[in-house]
C-alpha cells in the first residue's frame, strides 16, 4: 500500500496549478445520464473518485472519450472528457459499485427522471458521519416518485414521469440539492427547492444543466426554481477550480512560510476561508491569474473558526485549518457543525506533538513551538491532507499511511508540493 514520506522544514515558493473541483465534477458527470447526446466536460481532474464514477456510469451504458491537456504539462492535468449515454442499458446501481463512493447514489435522480425507474444500493455509513439519504428519498417522493427500500436498495419508480412540486429541505444538503435539481429538470411543471444548498458546485451544475436546455434560476441562493422540460441536449461545460484544493495549499503556505501563486484559483469561491487565513497573519493577494499566498516568517496567530454551509467556512477545510493552528501562538477553538465524527485526525496530529482537546463538537488547540515527525495514518480524505500540512513543518520525517484517501481528492499532491520546495515523496508497496 502506498505511503507518503515528508521531511519537514522547507518553505514553499513557486506556482501550484489548481485542478478542477472534484465536488463539481462528480454531479456534472452524473448529469450525462439525463440526455442521449454527448456532454463534454473540461477541466476534469485525474482522481480515484472520478475514475470510479466513470466505471459506474459505464455500468449504466455511458461511453466516454478522454482528450486534452494543458500546454507544457504532463498527461493527467485538466482533461476534457466526452460522456455519451445514448442508451441506458441498466437502471440498477449495484452495491459493489455504490459502496465504494457515496456520490454514486446520486445516479438515482437522473435515472428516475429519464427512465422512470432506478434501483440504487444504499451507500451505507461513512467514517465522518452517517450522511443519510433520507433527504434524497423524501425529495424525490415529493416529485411523485414511489420509493421502496428493500434488500439494501432504494427502488424508485415514476412510470408516468416526475411531477414538479415545492420541496423544502429540512437541512441544507449539497448532494440532495444536486439530485433534486437534476431530477426536476425533466419533471412536468415547475419545482421550487427551498433551503437549498448555495455552494459554487451547485451553481456550476445549474449552469451546465441550463446549457443542456434546462430552465433553472436561483442557483447560489437558498431558493431554486426549475421549470421542467421534456428533454435535454448535449453541451460543453467547464468545471470550476477546486476551492478545497485552493484552501488546502493556501494553508500549507501559511504553515511553512513562503510565497506561492495558486494558479487558476478563484477567490470568490472561498472568501470565508481566505478571510480567516488573513486573520492568522497570512498575506492573501487576489490576482487575475489566481491567488498569491505569502507568509514571511512571522508567527501564526490563533483564530477561532466554526464550519458552516457556503458561504461560511467549509467543513472540508476544517482538518487542514486545525493542522495550521497546531503551530499558532495561543489557543484556538474549532467548531464542527456539519458532520459528526469529523475529528478523527486529532489523535494522529497528537502523534506529531499537537496539543488538542475535544469538547463535544469543538476542538481546543493549544499552539506548540515544535512538531516532530512520526508515522501517522489517514482516516479520510481531508484528514489525510491535514497530516501532510503538519508534516511539512515537523522536525525529522513524517510518514503518512493509507494515502489512497488522498488520491480520491488531490491530483498529484506530492508533485505540486515538491515543485515548490517541499521534501515529499510517494513510496509504493
Q: Is 204 annotated as a binding residue?
A: no
Q: Is 316 annotated as a binding residue?
A: yes
Residue-wise DSSP of 192-259:
EEES----HHHHHHHHHHHHTT-EEE-BTBSEEEEE--S----EEEEPPB-HHHHHHHHHHHHHH-EE
pLDDT of the chain, 429 residues: tens digit per residue: 899 999 999 999 999 999 999 999 999 999 999 999 999 999 999 999 999 999 999 999 999 999 855 444 444 467 999 999 999 999 999 999 998 888 999 999 999 999 999 999 998 544 434 457 899 999 999 999 999 999 999 999 999 999 999 999 999 999 999 999 999 999 999 999 999 999 999 999 999 999 999 999 999 999 999 999 999 999 999 999 999 999 999 999 999 999 999 999 999 999 999 999 999 999 999 999 999 999 987 899 999 999 999 999 999 999 999 999 999 999 999 999 997 777 989 999 999 999 999 999 999 999 999 999 999 998 887 789 999 999 999 999 999 998 888 999 999 999 999 999 999 999 987
Domain 22-238 -> CATH class: alpha beta
- What's the start-to-end Cα distance of the chain, in Å? 5
Task: Specify the domain boundaries for CATH 3.65.10.10 within the chain.
Answer: 3-19+241-427, 22-238
Instruction: Output the CA torsion sign for 293, 299, 300, 303.
Output: negative
Q: Is 329 annotated as a binding residue?
A: no
Catalytic residue among 126, 127, 298, 358: 126
3-19+241-427 fold: UDP-n-acetylglucosamine1-carboxyvinyl-transferase; Chain (3.65.10)
Cell of 253: 503556505
User: What is the model's pTM?
Assistant: 0.95
Q: Is 23 annotated as a binding residue?
A: yes
Q: Is 372 annotated as a binding residue?
A: no
Determine whether 208 is an active site residue.
no
Q: Is 215 annotated as a binding residue?
A: no
Look at residues 18, 6, 5 and name the one whose alpha carbon lies nearest to residue 416. Answer: 18
Amino acid at each position: 500500500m502506498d505511503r507518503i514520506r515528508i521531511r519537514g522544514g522547507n518553505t514553499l515558493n513557486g506556482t501550484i496549478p489548481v485542478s478542477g473541483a472534484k465536488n463539481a465534477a462528480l454531479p456534472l458527470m452524473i448529469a450525462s445520464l439525463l440526455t442521449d447526446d454527448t456532454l463534454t466536460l473540461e477541466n476534469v481532474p485525474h482522481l480515484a473518485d472520478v475514475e470510479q464514477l466513470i466505471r459506474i456510469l459505464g455500468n449504466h451504458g455511458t461511453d466516454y472519450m478522454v482528450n486534452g491537456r494543458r500546454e507544457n504539462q504532463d498527461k493527467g492535468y485538466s482533461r476534457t472528457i466526452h460522456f455519451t449515454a445514448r442508451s441506458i442499458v441498466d437502471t440498477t446501481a449495484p452495491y459493489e459499485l455504490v459502496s465504494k463512493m457515496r456520490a454514486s447514489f446520486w445516479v438515482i435522480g437522473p435515472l428516475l427522471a429519464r427512465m422512470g425507474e432506478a434501483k440504487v444500493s444504499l451507500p451505507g455509513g461513512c467514517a465522518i458521519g452517517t450522511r443519510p439519504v433520507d433527504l434524497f428519498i423524501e425529495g424525490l417522493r415529493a416529485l411523485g416518485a414511489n420509493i421502496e427500500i428493500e434488500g439494501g436498495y432504494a427502488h424508485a419508480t415514476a412510470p408516468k414521469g416526475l411531477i414538479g412540486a415545492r420541496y423544502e429541505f429540512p437541512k441544507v444538503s449539497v448532494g440532495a440539492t444536486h439530485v433534486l435539481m437534476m431530477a426536476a429538470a425533466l419533471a412536468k411543471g415547475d419545482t421550487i427547492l427551498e433551503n437549498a444548498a448555495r455552494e459554487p458546485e451547485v451553481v456550476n451544475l445549474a449552469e451546465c444543466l441550463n446549457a443542456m436546455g434546462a430552465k433553472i434560476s436561483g442557483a447560489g441562493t437558498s431558493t431554486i426554481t426549475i421549470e421542467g422540460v421534456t428533454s435535454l441536449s448535449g453541451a460543453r461545460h467547464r468545471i470550476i477550480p477546486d476551492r478545497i484544493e485552493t484552501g488546502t495549499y493556501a494553508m500549507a503556505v501559511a504553515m511553512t512560510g513562503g510565497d506561492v501563486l495558486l494558479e487558476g484559483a478563484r477567490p470568490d469561491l472561498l472568501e470565508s476561508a481566505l478571510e480567516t487565513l488573513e486573520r492568522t497573519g497570512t498575506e492573501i493577494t487576489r490576482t487575475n491569474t489566481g491567488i498569491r499566498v505569502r507568509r514571511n516568517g512571522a508567527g501564526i496567530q490563533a483564530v477561532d473558526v466554526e464550519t458552516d454551509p457556503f458561504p461560511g467556512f467549509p467543513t472540508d477545510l476544517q482538518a487542514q485549518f486545525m493542522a495550521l493552528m497546531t503551530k499558532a501562538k495561543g489557543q484556538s477553538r474549532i467548531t464542527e457543525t456539519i458532520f459528526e465524527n469529523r475529528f478523527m485526525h486529532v489523535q494522529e496530529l497528537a502523534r506529531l506533538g499537537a496539543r488538542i482537546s475535544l469538547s463535544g463538537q469543538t476542538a481546543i488547540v493549544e499552539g506548540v513551538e515544535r512538531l516532530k515527525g512520526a508515522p501517522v495514518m489517514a482516516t479520510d480524505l481531508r484528514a489525510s491532507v491535514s497530516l501532510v500540512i503538519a508534516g511539512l513543518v515537523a522536525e525529522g520525517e513524517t510518514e503518512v499511511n493509507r494515502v489512497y484517501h488522498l488520491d480520491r481528492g488531490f491530483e498529484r499532491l506530492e508533485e505540486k508540493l515538491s515543485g515548490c520546495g517541499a521534501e515529499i515523496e510517494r513510496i509504493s508497496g
